[in-house]
Every structure is written in C-alpha cells, then in structure tokens.
Amino acid sequence: MSHPFFERHQDVLQQALLALTERGYWSPYSEMPSPRVYGESAADDGKAAYEARLNQPFAFHPAQPGNGNTTGSEVSPYGPALGITYPAVDPEQLLPAMHAAAANWYKAGPEVWTGVALEIVSRLNQRSFEIAHAVMHTTGQAYMMSFQAGGPHAQDRAVEAIAYAWDELRRIPGQALWEKPQGKNPPLRMQKTYRVVPRGLSLVIGCCTFPTWNAYPGLFASLATGNAVLVKPHPGAILPLAITVEVARQVIAEAGFNPDVICLAAHEASASLASDLALRPEVRLIDFTGSAANGNWLEQHARQAQVFTEKSGVNQIVIDSTADLNGMLRNIAFSLVLYSGQMCTAPQNIYIPAAGIETETGHLSFDQVVSALGVAIDKLTGDPAKAVEILGAIQNTAVLERIAAARERGEIVTDSRALQHPLFAGARIQTPLLIKIADVAAKPVTEEYFGPVSFAIATNGTADSIAIAERIAREHGALTLSAYTTDDAVKEQLLDAAVSAGVALSLNLNGGVFVNQSAAFSDYHGTGANPAANAALSDAAFVASRFRVVQSREPVAAAANLS
C-alpha cells in the first residue's frame, strides 16, 4: 500500500539512497540556524516553545496509556530545574495497548512505514530550535552543538536509517510466479507471496549526553521496518525524546493509525524501568547507548531480543611525526575541549614516543610535545566567555569525580578548573585535565574516564604505540583511533592495526575536521567489531534483523490449451 507521505518524500529518499552508495557529503537539512533556511522567527519561536514547557506537565495529544501518575526531575547542567513532569507508565497497561495498536501498523507495509517515518523526521526538523534548547538544558551541550547534533545531524542519522531500511525492504517482492521446467512434461508452477513481518516491540534506551543523535538511528530503523517503538529516555534527558515521541504520535495519527505505535516511558533515576522492560517477552528489539556494564548486561540477559549496543571504550591518538605541528596541536586540543570530552568519540589516551617526534620545525622531545599540547588547551579555554561555547557544561556530577580520580594517575600538565558562565551562574563548567605518564613501563590506562580527561603516555616508539592502541581497542573497545605520521610505512601499520582491532581510523587531522565528528551517509559510527559497540550506525545489518519474511505458496494450474 502506498501513502501520500511516501510520495511526498520521494526526492529525499532517492537522494539518501544515492548518498549511501557514494558515501560523499550530503545532508537533507541545514546544520546552520539560519533565518533564510528556517524562517525569520524560527529561533525565537523555538525558544518560546521550550520555555512554555518549563514547570508544566508534558501532555501527549492524544494521550498515551497511563496510570494517571507523573514523573520527572530534570535539572539543567546550566543550573535551573526544568520542572517538567511526564506521564508515568505501567507496563502491564502500556504494553498490551501498544501490541493492540501495532496490529494495523504491522499490516501497512514498507511504503507506509517509510513515508510516515520520513514525515516525522521532516516535522522534527521544523522543531529544531525547540529541540536545541531541550538538548542544551538536559545534556549541557553548548547551544550551537545542541542545535546541530540534537537537530539536523540527528535527523540525518534518522533518514540514513530509514533509507537503509527501505533499501532492504524494497528487495522483497510482494509476489512471484515460480515456474520450473520439467522437460516434456508441463512445468511446475507455484504462485508465491512474501510478507514482511516486523520483529515486535522495539525498546530504545536513550543516553544523557546525545539523546536524539544516539536514539534516532534505532528508533527510526525500527519504525521504518514496521515495529512499534517504546522510547525510554535517560531520566536526566527526557525532554528531547518526549518532543520526538509527541511529533511521531501526531504524524502516525494523521496517517490513520493508532498513535500508541510509539510511546514514551519516562522514569525517575532510582527506578529500574530499563532493566524491567528489557526482560519483558514482548520486547523483541533493544537499542542501547551507555556504559559497558549496562550494555553487557543487556547482551547477556535480554536473550529474547535482538540487542544493539553502543558502549564505553578508550579512544586513542598515536603521534609518530607531523608536517604541521601547530595544526596538529590545535586539532587535538579542540577535540579534547569540545563538549568537555563528553562525546563517545572523544580521544583519551595519547601515545608519544619517549624519544620524541619529528616535525616540520625539527625534533621535539616527549616533554616538549606534551607541554605544547597543554598550551594549546589553555589557549582555547583562556577566555571563559568564549570557552563555554565550546566546553558546554558537565552533564553528570560523576564526571567531576572522574576528574579527581584521574589526577592520581600521573603528573598534571594542565589541570581542570571551573569556569563561570556569563549567563548561567549555576552552570557546571570544567576545562580539560591533561595528565602526563612519562614512565614507559607504567601500566597503560585501559579504563574510560568519560569527560574532560586525557593522558599523554610515553612509549618505546611508534611501533609500541600502535601495538598498545590495537590491543586496547580489541580488548576494551574504542570508537575512534587517530594518528599523525609523515611516514607511509607507519601509515600502513596503522591501517592494518585499525582493521585488526575493528576501529575507525583518522589520519593527520590538522584542519576543520575532528576525530569526534561522524558524518551521516558517509561515516560508519562504530563498527560492531570491537567491544565498544556490537553494531554500526548505520549499515544494512543494523536494519535487516528488525524484520522477517514469511511466505506462502500455492500450485498454479497449467493454462488450458485453447488452440
């Protein structure tokens, strides 16, 4: 069955399919909050819409099944409490209602699922400014990052997942005539039909740092393959996903389906709702972003479901040599400062030969390289008014505890310090901590210190650096590996190590592209080939397990001889 939404978004869908093949730059939505793109009043309207949410109950129209209770205690990392309450859920009431709502949705078919999903994303794009404020005041991201990563970049990832889903679904014909020759005898003829069957209820477990960017791939991959979706946000970052579910329910209702195909499961931090839901037999798909401990638990215990996880890891940089010392230092420093290191792709361990490195200006010792990196960090954070627009705020107070613990690991090169935000007196702002570990015999840092913490580690040489980075990525997980070298042989060694460890490699980033960044339609975020993630965002494997094909067949009588 076709649908007007499917026809409406054909241009975007076809461009997305082409982009997945070519892997060049393409985005359906502008990442710049320009009035020319979004409208003269869009920024003010979005801010007003966000502010109207504060200190109010968040009500879905139409309402989702609930017990009449409310929940929610979000506090902005910039200081103020949001004061928003959300409908509490009773799984015994909600899950049967979702199952009933999904019956007609399951039967709608791929064109409807795809069209509705694309329409939802299109309308979310129109709400990008409201979502930006919601992301900013739940995650601590600075406003520009909140707009880009929480809005258009997350929406890019949603369209990417939808396109992958459609690409797989369109390969399955609705019916086929099977005819097998039998020599002189009449051929065997069968009429076969094929029906795509969704796996079942999809549980999306959101994170507190990138609630939309990390949740949208799984959410829209499941929706576009016909599954009902239950979105369980992190209790510290509910609002961005509540707005998402609100928009999705409105579009699904307009399309003629019960909006309980998608629901929100908000809860307090002390509740065990995520683990309780994950073990429900109705839940057949789980998408999770968070700690290795929780991700591993889901993989081991939620055996009734297909589980997709992105977990913690130790991202690393190998410095061998460089032809652009200042560019390298600026690039690394920015990667460490950006959003206070609270990105799953942010680097942590930096390996430098104890004997030093070669640069375009001559040889530099280990200490000189580390000192220069510290200076580069200080330059980026020296003016608090400018620095806060890069640093953002610390989302979780546990990050502050990690900073304190990291200080014990080695010599402090650049200490983390609190900054005052010019607009938000209560904001948690911390500059990066850079620790030097000069003893090549010291045990490598294999734990993730999520937040503004990095270690400059002396090694026995570049070969040793590469071996350490490969082993840590393979054994402990990593989403990114970055390296600097002017030696083609070293480059080949790095490429081999990255393939062996199953980690994405960035080489010689000196300009405006940073290892933290991952571009939809071009970069695979995660590989599924090391412990940091068991899936990639996105590829065919990310969507293909979300549905099955059930066929029926019946013999067809030979055509009558009318001659």
- d(CA 213, CA 13) in angstroms, rounded, equals 20
CB 357 within 8 A of CB 322: yes
Q: Does 561 have pLDDT greater than 90? A: no
What pLDDT score does 558 carry? 62
Domain identity same for 457 and 421: yes
Q: What CATH number is attached to the domain comprising 402?
A: 3.40.309.10
The fraction of the chain above a pLDDT of 90, given in percent, is: 96
> Quick one: pLDDT at residue 270?
86
User: Do 240 and 324 belong to one domain?
Assistant: no
Taking residues 194-213, report their average pLDDT: 97
Indicate if 286 and 330 belong to the same structural domain.
no
Residue 271's pLDDT band, with cuts at 50, 70 and 90, is confident
> Whole-angstrom Cα distance, residue 265 to residue 245?
10
From 101, 121, 107, 312, select the one nearest 221 (Cα to Cα).
Answer: 121
Q: Are residues 357 and 486 in the same domain?
A: yes
Task: Examine the pLDDT at 60 and tell me if it is beyond 90.
Answer: yes
Segment 317-342, tens digit of pLDDT: 999 999 999 999 999 999 999 999 99
pLDDT at 308: 98
**358-381 residue pLDDT tens:** 999 999 999 999 999 999 999 999
Residue bearing the bigger pLDDT, 507 or 563: 507
Dist CA 137 CA 152 (whole Å): 18
Within-domain flag for 499:
yes
Strands 229-232 and 201-205: parallel
Residues 334 and 363 in one domain: yes
- Whether 259 and 357 map to the same domain: the answer is no
Segment 427-446 shows an average pLDDT of 96
Region 305-317: mean pLDDT is 97
Q: What is the pLDDT of residue 27?
A: 97
With respect to residue 328, please indicate whether it lies within any of the assigned structural domains: yes
Longest dimension (CA), the chain: 96
Residues 412 and 443 in one domain: yes
354 and 301 within one domain: no
Mean pLDDT score of the chain: 96
Residue 488 is assigned to a structural domain of this protein = yes
Inform me whether the pLDDT recorded for 386 exceeds 70: yes
117 with 224: CB under 8 angstroms? yes
Containing structural domain, residue 66: 4-13+60-166+200-311+535-547
- For residue 224, being part of any structural domain is answered with yes
Mean pLDDT in residue range 52-77:
94
Residues above pLDDT 70, as percent of the chain:
99
Report the CATH number at residue 214.
Answer: 3.40.605.10
Q: What is the 3-state secondary structure (H, E, C) of 320-370?
A: CECCCHHHHHHHHHHHHHHHHHCCCCCCCEEEEECCCEEECCEEECHHHHH
Average pLDDT for 160-165: 98
Provide the domain count of the chain.
Answer: 2
Q: At what angle do helices 152-169 and 211-223 cross, to 10 degrees?
A: 20
- 541 with 496, same domain? no
Q: Is residue 432 part of a domain?
A: yes
Q: Would you tell me how many other CB atoms lie within 10 Å of the CB of residue 195?
A: 15
pLDDT at position 1: 60
The type of residue at 140 is G
Q: What pLDDT was estimated at residue 560?
A: 46
What is the C-alpha separation between 140 and 215, in angstroms, rounded? Answer: 17
Euclidean distance between CA atoms 225 and 199, whole angstroms? 9
Residue 79 has pLDDT above 90, yes or no: yes
- Same domain (yes/no): 139, 72: yes
What per-residue confidence (pLDDT) applies to 66? 87
